[in-house]
Amino acid sequence: MKEVRIIGEKLANMPWEDKPEGAVGPVWRHSENPIVKRNPTKGIARIFNSAVAAYGDRFVGVFRAETINGRPHLHMGWSDDALNWSIEEQRIDFVDEDGQPFQPNYAYDPRLVKVENTYYIIWCTDFYGAAIGVAKTDDFKTFIRLENPFLPFNRNGVLFPRKINNKFVMLSRPSDSGHTPFGDVFLSESPDFVYWGKHRHVMSKGGQGWWQSVKIGGGPAPIETTEGWLMFYHGVTGTCNGLVYSMGAVILDLDEPSKVKYRSSNYVLTPEEWYEERGFVNNVIFPCATLHDAETGKIAIYYGAADTYVGLAYTTVDEIVKYVKDTSEVIGDDEEIGKI
Ligand code: BMA
């Protein structure tokens, strides 16, 4: 196979460990996982499903923090190495576009995506039930909430890191307001971050891979590569003891990202370690962010583990793209009902 490259910026100081001898599969875990443990900050019991990004020569994070009254909120964190995080005790103070306080009732599963020098936070918010909330910041001091992009019920809003054909593009997973026993990934575009439309179906749950038989949801912001948009996502299966969340990988067309080019029919990471198998919710791997280096092709994936910890895993663009192509099964592509 010809060499695959990440299209984007260099990130020489990202965390990295080489693939250990005997590792199974295309993604391997950081040796000191979990990188965020229980009770990391006063008043916060657990941190998981969180997003990080490079910011200057440091790293910034938006963390899903389950406070000691059990309600989730978003807290900022900072790190010099993207491994040791200092997480703020105060939750993020959101304002509306007039500068007035505008706090979400609850907030969880954030993504943090830079588009044209603005950082966007996308999370699950309360809008008469589970829905997608968005905010923007340029300095991580002022956080301005924007119009909710979609009607309830919806989760797993994932913004692409650049405009495509001059439009913002966001993935989402329409759902119910509870634990959602169904779900496919859709895509919408917007010229202004207010009006979203041209909704497209991207991919369905199911197929040969039973690990994604109940529902799927977008993960970290897609990574631009010479083969297409590489996205990690979560896939869920049902057991007599509840749901199990694993990580999958898909490659979407660069110009028309509702088209799936390749999609691994196998999971690329599934709960196997104690911090993934056992916690507030057992057997959950929930990826929300990556750091990656266009020069070397290294990728670090940040994932929530068992709704309790933050885990870190690694792969390279060559290895994961080859794996996705070799094991590909495209299920429910955008050949869809309702497309004009
Ligand atoms: C989903 C979301 C995630 C969570 C997962 C497993 O519905 O609420 O935040 O990690 O369930 O509990």
- Among 46, 47, 48, 49, the mutation site with the greatest number of ligand 1 atoms within 8 A of its Cβ is 49
- 304's enclosing H/E stretch is strand 298-305
CB of 49 within 6 A of ligand 1: the answer is yes
162-217 pLDDT, tens digit each: 999 999 999 999 999 999 999 999 999 999 999 999 999 999 999 999 999 999 99
Q: How far is CA 334 from CA 200, 202, 204, 220, 247, in A?
A: 7, 5, 9, 21, 22
CB of 109 within 6 A of ligand 1: the answer is yes
State yes or no: pLDDT of 27 exceeds 70: yes
Distance, CA of 291 to CA of 151 (rounded, Å)? 30
Q: Span 272-282, mean pLDDT?
A: 98
| Rounded distance from Cα 297 to ligand 1 centre (Å) | 30
Sign, CA dihedral 255-258-259-260, equals positive
State yes or no: pLDDT of 333 exceeds 80: no
Structure tokens at 221: 């912001």
Distance, CA of 190 to CA of 197 (rounded, Å)? 6
Nearest atom within ligand 1 for CA of residue 307:
10
CB of 319 within 6 A of ligand 1: the answer is no
Angle at 95 between CA 94 and CA 97, to 5 degrees: 140
- Among 109, 156, 215, the mutation site with the greatest number of ligand 1 atoms within 8 A of its Cβ is 109
| Rounded distance from Cα 203 to ligand 1 centre (Å) | 20
State yes or no: pLDDT of 90 exceeds 70: yes
How is the chain split into domains, by residue range?
A: 28-327
| Rounded distance from Cα 49 to ligand 1 centre (Å) | 8
**Other Cβ atoms closer than 10 A to 14:** 19
CB of 304 within 6 A of ligand 1: the answer is yes
Distance, CA of 17 to CA of 3 (rounded, Å)? 21
State yes or no: pLDDT of 238 exceeds 60: yes
State yes or no: pLDDT of 2 exceeds 80: no
Q: Which residues of 102-115 are buried (b: 16+ CB within 10 A; e: fewer)?
A: bebebbbbbbbbbb
CB of 177 within 6 A of ligand 1: the answer is no
- Among 307, 308, 310, the mutation site with the greatest number of ligand 1 atoms within 8 A of its Cβ is 307
State yes or no: pLDDT of 226 exceeds 80: yes
Residue nearest to atom 12 of ligand 1 (CA): 281
CB of 307 within 6 A of ligand 1: the answer is yes
Q: What is the DSSP letter of 3?
A: P
Q: How far is CA 250 from CA 74, 107, 116, 203, 222, in A?
A: 28, 27, 25, 10, 9
pLDDT at 97: 95
Average per-residue pLDDT in the chain? Answer: 96
Q: In the CATH scheme, what architecture does the domain 28-327 have?
A: 5 Propeller (2.115)
Least confident of 61-75, 157-171, 197-211, 326-340: 326-340
Q: Span 290-316, mean pLDDT?
A: 98
Residue % of the chain over a pLDDT of 70: 97
Residue nearest to atom 4 of ligand 1 (CA): 307
CB of 108 within 6 A of ligand 1: the answer is yes
